[in-house]
Amino acid sequence: MPIRVPERARRGRTRAAALALAAVLSAAVPGCGGPGPADRGAARTLGAGPDTGPGTGAAATRQADGRHTEAALRAAVRRLMAEGSAPGAAALARDGDGTRFASAGLADLRTGRRIHRNDRFRAGSITKTLIATVVLQLADERRLGLDDTVEEHLPGLVRGRGNDGRKITLRQLLTHTSGLFDFAADQRVARRLSRPPTAAPLTPRQLVRTALAHRPRFAPGAAWHYSNTNYVLLGLVVQRVTGRPYAAETERRVLRPLGLRGTSFPGARDTLPTPHGRGYAPDADTLRDVTTLDPSAAGAAGEAISTLDDLARFFGALLRGGLLPPAALRRMRDTTASDGRYGMGLFPVRLSCGVTLWGHNGQINGSYAQVVATSDGRRVLAYRLNTEARPAAAAERALLKAEFCRT
């Protein structure tokens, strides 16, 4: 049932209800930033009082800096919500001073519930970073090669209308240089996402066949174009190599070792685990509740559900070298094939003060999220809104500046 959007939200950009899942790659966002020390520290919620009383010397300076940082992050999250169409927004930052959380607006327009720190939400294309990590682990174990062709692992699957898996490598899938059509741009998939789930779940092979009904955009390796089809194929490769579905293998290799208990792969389950708020789709001057969603239309390209805490912990561990050896992590951040736009499940965000962050975003009906971190993984920022409409560029820059442009 549509819900009337407040005047604040009507000023934001509107988006068609049938927006395809997780297909938009964040552009580099100008701003400022710099690295920080490594230490998970104790969690703090923005707005809470300081942990200790007034101090002197270095301790007092750190305390004053912490209050300033908290206030800046809180103000940036409020702006992120105010200048967009989302009813609510939240951000979580991790660095050597601890963990800070800020939220603004509402998680549920009917009940007035606010966004909680441990809320589950759909992470969209951030799923790709999880899948890329597993593929690179398997490559490091020599269970597959990045220059293997798709045909070697999935014989006969990628054929027809100029598509040929014998000429596409796993490296090209990881870097979005395969040329394969993005199944999320197919109108049949878009229409399915815009309606409540009623039909049987889509299988990965069905999603691939949807893409193969279209001619490729270019010859493999000739250019760069973001395509969800690439990562659905990588999910099938993981299953072929390991004998386990990509969700089970990712849980075994990443989620369980890092203790990411708020992250899951729902399969065909169309509801969110508790606790959670609601997801909304902006349409003209209304917001439509789209919390119930068939995630099979995303698969290995965008199926995951997570929390801000889990995403920050995952990206921090990944970039600190806790999941991949140095050579594999360098490959993950090599953007040569995409002219600087995308590596393997990671993309760079270049800030105006000279620091390059690494991360990924996720955009799926009812949810927009992004995670960025310094190259050493010691400072991480994860943030989200409860619509798929991207935040205003200026507000997103202000949020990055509040966290990474400290002096």
- Burial per residue of 214-237, b for 16 or more beta-carbon CB atoms within 10 angstroms, e otherwise: bebeeebbeebbbbbbbbbbbbbb
Q: Is 49 exposed, middle or buried (0-12, 13-18, 19+ CB in 10 A)?
A: exposed
Say how many C-beta atoms besides its own lie within 10 A of residue 82's C-beta: 18
Spatial separation of the C-alpha atoms in residues 338 and 242, rounded to whole Å: 29
Q: Is 258 helix (H, G, I), strand (E, B) or coil?
A: helix
Q: Spot the catalytic one: 26, 103, 125, 178.
A: 125
Residue 125 annotated among the catalytic residues of the structure: yes
- Per 3-state DSSP, what percentage of the chain is helix, strand, and coil (rounded to 5)? 35, 15, 45
Spatial separation of the C-alpha atoms in residues 263 and 246, rounded to whole Å: 14
Spatial separation of the C-alpha atoms in residues 369 and 8, rounded to whole Å: 20
Q: Is 358 helix (H, G, I), strand (E, B) or coil?
A: strand
Chain position carrying tokens 């270049």: 350
Active site residue ranges: 125
